[in-house]
Amino acid sequence: MDENRLLPKRYAEALGYSTLAWALLETGLDILVAITFHRFDGNQSHPEIPRSLSRKIGYLKDIAKLRPGHPWANRILAIAATAGELSDERHHVTHGVATGGFDGESTYVFRLLYEKTMHQPLERPVSVTQLRELSAKTRDAAIAALDLAHEMVDAIKDVDNDPVGKAGR
């Protein structure tokens, strides 16, 4: 079997970058969830820490909407919205399989969609360029999430090191 037919090198490399960028974004989301859950009363509105991606996104949107005047609310909302927008394409290329026909730039990616009582096949073309664009958008969202997480951690450290701030919490 020709391995390049099923997993063309350029496609695999682009998919690898996309996967690594997504890992960075999910790490940023996880840190934002942890901070808001434990330090900004997220546990008051949500009794459990969200684990799935869709629940993390929903949780962050809820937290941002519950605190509209909070300095980070709009950024959290934007990051969660972007992650939601990128997640469908990421899911398709990560969990789908290239079905061949790679012409040096594009291939078809197939996966089964699970509906309540049936499987729905989905196949669509995906190019190396599209994967690179997905990687860049995901990387940018990851940077935004991680930068915000760092700012929030620094703010928490400032409050924790300030006796007046501790009393004012």
Tokens of 55: 């629940």
Judge whether 87 and 64 are in contact, CB under 8 Å.
no
pTM exceeds cut of 0.85:
no
Judge whether 102 and 5 are in contact, CB under 8 Å.
yes
Tokens of 99: 């079905």
Residue-wise pLDDT for 99-158, tens only, equals 766 777 777 777 777 777 878 888 888 888 999 999 999 999 999 999 999 999 998 887
Cα–Cα distance measured from residue 138 to residue 82, given in angstroms and rounded to the nearest whole number: 8
Name the most confidently modeled range: 74-88, 90-104, 108-122: 74-88
Per-domain residue ranges for the chain? 3-97+128-164
